[in-house]
Structure 1
Amino acid sequence: MKLAVLAGDGIGPEIVAQAVRVLEALKADGLPIELEYGLIGGCAVDATGEPYPEATHRLASQADAILLGAVGGPKYDALPRHQRPERGLLSIRKELNLFANLRPAILYPELASASSLKYDVVAGLDILIVRELTGDIYFGEPRGIDIRDGHRVGFNTMIYSESEILRIAHVAFQAARKRQKKLCSIDKMNVLECTQLWRDIVTEVAKDYPDVTISHMLVDNAAMQLVRNPKQFDVMVTGNMFGDILSDEASMLTGSIGMLPSASLDQNNKGLYEPIHGSAPDIAGKDLANPLATILSVAMMLRYTFNHEESAYRIEQAIRKVLASGLRTKDIAEPNMPVVGTKAMGDAVLSLL
């Protein structure tokens, strides 16, 4: 199991360090894990001038999977757009063709009171958002800022090809088959022709999956329904921009964005695994970050890329037991609860692994 480890910026090195400790423990138990380290994001810009240097691309291309922490920080905001840390993240997704992003939003019973919604609205929540990751307005051309009639004009292009929609639709339907056999496709077909095509193709693909119930919802309604009645959803599939927004919204239903992992997969299930939160530079180096989403990303890696369900289950059960014991990092702690730091939370997971 050849893993490329890209810690990145901000709290990235701290949370990845705890995930690596879990990997090393599994390696001691006999899993043939090999780790190699590289740079991405702001730290790569500092070292090489590029957010996704060629050496990192070679490392990631040769690895079976990639574990990534987080990228970005305010110190890089004034850089030219092609040098900003976020371009490194977009580049690795595009260069490795990691088109399918899986973002589970699961509410652990112990954290139900940490959600901003009422207990009965979120108790038992378990949603999987399937987001197309290499197309849409983030990559569409033409794009830029021009001067037109003496005024600055910014423009981007929302574009999807039939083949891009087909492949993400199949991923979503196959995921739904393994769950409750319900799939909701999110679009804005009443305004955007691009997403009318999305709905048309998803409807066509549904004929190949007669055992899965398909529904469609406009993105603005979906955003409202996620906070009104989130348990109506099982699997949701949508494009890059809508998925970016909706998955962050769904994360807060679970009590903290610090609890949610993600997988970005290619057609052969090679994947990049990362927590969905950002680099949180305001708490970097203070031993405050929650490492659980990164450790859960390791569990997803073992499940989806390496088909090692036993190890994935061990990690998830260890985290459930840690939460049941009452240990909390600051982001998921209720008033008057004892709070532990990043390393102490890692210690606790290892002790129960």
Structure 2
Amino acid sequence: MTTLKLLLLPGDGIGLETMAEVERIISFFNKKSGTSKFQTEFDLVGGSAYDKHGVAVTDACVAKAKASDAVIFGAVGGPQWDKVPYEVRPEAGLLRLRKDLDLFANLRPAICYPALADASSLKRELVEGLDIMIVRELTGGVYFGEPKEIVTLENGQKRAIDTQIYTTREIERIAKVAFDLARKRGNKVHSAEKRNVMKTGVLWNEVVTATHKSYAPDVELHHILADNCAMQLVRNPKQFDVIVTDNLFGDVLSDEAAMATGSLGMLPSASLGAENPTTGKRLALYEPVHGS
């Protein structure tokens, strides 16, 4: 019998409730399966970790995550932690897990289940049967770029800086994930960026185009400006199959697509690392699409 190690990170608030249901599902599979068994371990992340350890996630927890077959994540944050220092805010725990495990590929499906079609703010005919996969680059971009700071200028005013950085390798590997997924679905990819005003958008467009030519010429590729993509998700969401985009735009567009289905809270997401060339496995973290 194969034993698979799961690290359960309930986090805060509703994360505790959802993880209780996860435990029931794990127990069910452990009783029914004759070939594999899940071994679980718990740890703290987010506000609960801050209350006990003074940080949003500990080094020991990150080490456990790296040693696990998968991490199951609940949610982090709440109004009681709104005033904690920025560096140790609950969301910092999730960001560190993503970065330290190099979980660069965030898969965010937007599926409209029949029972939720009327819960969508869009008309039923626009969302019924909706099935979009948003592939969000998760470890680069403005969330992790340096410098990231707020400084006081000589005249007393403050200046805030967030740095958007992407490399060829980062864009190429997330594009390949999108093309691979599209081959298993509708064979169509929209690549969303802002090449009209952002140099990272220019590079993103160039690299995705080159990757498509060399790696997936059989897949239908469309380039779309991120703001137009946001509008089209409301106008005609079923035109999309797979959308690949950067960290910031992926965060925004996936929430918009999720609400078209009727409920942000009913959707899952997967954050995946690169495939291990020896074992064929990927580090993986699974969570509700809202995350915090």
Q: Could you say whether these structures have the same fold, taking a TM-score greater than 0.5 normalized by the shorter chain as the test? A: yes
Q: In the alignment, does 2:236 pair up with 1:236?
A: no
Could you say which residue in structure 2 is the equivalent of 1:41? 46
Greater strand content: 2
TM-score (normalizing by structure 2): 0.94
> Is structure 2 residue 81 aligned with structure 1 residue 90?
no
Q: Counterparts of 1:278 and 1:62 in 2: how far apart (Å)?
A: 22
Matched residues in 1 for 2:100 and 2:290: separation? 22
Normalised to the residue count of structure 1, the TM-score between the two structures is 0.78
Distance 1:89 1:220, change over 3 A: same
Structure 1 segments, 4+ long, off by >2 Å, are none
The residue number in structure 1 matching 2:287 is 274
Give, in whole Å, the separation in 1 of the partners of 2:153 and 2:176: 42
Shift of 1:149: 3.6
Please name the residue that 2:60 is paired with. 55
Secondary structure of residue in 2 paired with 1:173 = helix
Measured after TM superposition, the shift of residue 277 of structure 1 is 2.4
Aligned residues: CA RMSD = 0.9
Matched, 1:20 2:23: yes
The residue number in structure 2 matching 1:73 is 78
Q: 1:197 aligns with which of 167, 192, 203?
A: 203
Q: Secondary structure at the match of 1:191?
A: coil
Could you tell me how far apart the structure 2 residues matched to 1:187 and 1:8 are? 32
Q: Which stretches in structure 2 are left out of the alignment for 5+ residues?
A: 276-281
**Identity over the aligned pairs, expressed in percent?**
54
Deviation at 1:259, TM superposition (A): 1.1
Equivalent residue, structure 2, for 1:288: none
CA deviations 1:21-43 (Å, max 9, x no partner) are 11110011123111010111100
Match of 2:12 among 9, 14, 31: 9
Q: Deviations over 1:242-296 (max 9, x none)?
A: 00000000110111111110000000222100002255xxxxxxxxxxxxxxxxx
Instruction: Output the amino acid matched with 2:52.
Output: A
| C-alpha contact (below 8 Å) 2:143/2:247 kept by paired residues | yes
Match of 1:343 in 2: none
**Correspondent of 1:219 among 226, 240, 264:** 226
Q: What is the CA deviation profile of residues 33-64 of structure 1, one whole-angstrom value per residue up to 9, with x for unaligned ones?
A: 11010111100001111111122112111101
**What is the aligned length?**
279
What is the CA–CA distance in structure 1 between the aligned matches of 2:210 and 2:291, rounded to whole Å?
Answer: 36
Matched, 1:116 2:129: no
- Post-superposition CA distance 1:80-117 (Å, at most 9, x none): 11111110000000000000000000001122111111
Amino acid of the structure 1 residue aligned with 2:179: F
Q: State how far apart, in whole Å, the 2-side matches of 1:237 and 1:34 are.
A: 34
Distance 2:151 2:60 in 1: 34
**Unmatched 5+ residue regions in structure 1?**
280-353
Q: Which amino acid counterpart does residue 187 of structure 2 have in structure 1?
A: K
